[in-house]
Structure 1
Amino acid sequence: MFKKLRKKTFNIVLAFLVFTSFGCYISYKIIKDKETPKITKILPSSSNTKLSFITEESIIDKIQKVSKLVVVEVDLNEKMVIDNSWGDWDIFKKLQRVDYYGKGSYSIDLSSLDSSKVKIDKLNKEITIHLPKPAANTPTIDYDKTTFESTEKGLLRFGDIKLTKDESAVIDKEVISRMDTKLKETTLYDEAIKNGQDTVQGLIKPIVDDNVKINIIFE
């Protein structure tokens, strides 16, 4: 009977040790799995390209942080002469020269950008993005910088030139129209195209491999 009791005790102790060891192993695996970062293998280990890690959505999110991208900003100047003379005689002359200063810019509207405008060629390591052409924004007059020269008066003219609100509005409209014409000259437009390509490429380059070619097509 004593032998049976000792054998039974031995079996209980052995079972306890086995279950305890198994429980410790399971706990160790769970803790180790939590500490080990999960790695998703997207490409075979023999591949040299990292382009598969980039999606159209990640590129769009990167670009659309700014929905309207200003690519060119330029200072504009327009000289105007306000003439309040009576006829052509110098003695009735009254005029004032004004230097109007303003700002003009080109921007790209990114609000319509979606995955259909982004193409990723993994084989040739190229990204092609179709964007609307840079558009000229309406110039604005900087009245703080605008300068008014002294009024030139003939012998029989007195006082300074005083404009009504309507007259000032007409002059401002003409100044903005002339500034807009200058802004849309070919030289500035070509600069907007080049700066637009460089700026968008600069936004994307940090999230792709160095040897990936980025094509920007304006349409």
Structure 2
Amino acid sequence: MGDAGVDRQLRADAERNRRRILDAAREIFADQGLDVSMRQVARHAKVGEPTLRRRFPSKADLVAEVFKDKVVFYADAAEEALADPDPWHGFTTFVGRLACMQLGDRGFTEVLTMTFPSSMRIEKDRRRAYEKISMMIARAQAAGTLREDFVPEDMILLLVSHAGIVAATGDIAEKFSARLVAYLLQAFAAPGAGPLPAPPSMTETYRALLRLHDGDQHAVPS
């Protein structure tokens, strides 16, 4: 085999390893969340950790690659909800789609509450989603269908509550999910049964959800 043939074989091997790593990471993140280490991912992919880190130098790089398509879908779903002629239908449909995504992937909620380097596409899509969700909330409130004291941070409260149900109920999570979402949507509907306590600030909300690393900077665990 000549040099060109050797190069092609090396590239093919590298691509196989990359696909194996991504498939393994998707599986283990969906099943266990993002607490797993790079070493565990490498073991699950049946490659050495140095091989994994040559392709994905940091955990953030790997997580971003694994979840980029789902975050695009999430942002697109928010845009579709915002475009719905019926503001309440758009809001409730979006909540239902989020619940379905959580049912299939435990890592999904964690990714939505992370920040990535601004140069990464996943961060741009995550911010796009947040902007559209805020607009969707304001639109439903203006229509008088969503209670006036609902804030964007309440969407995170919904995600975390639902994630707890998914984690706790296993194979029958779908039944519990449908009932919880129905209860929450009734609670969110205007005018609301009564006043709510003041919501936590954005910073307090994120600190309650994110693992802190290197002081106040959140980083994806390595």
TM-score (norm 2): 0.22
More helix per residue: 1 or 2? 2
Higher-Rg structure is 1
| Structure with the larger strand share | 1
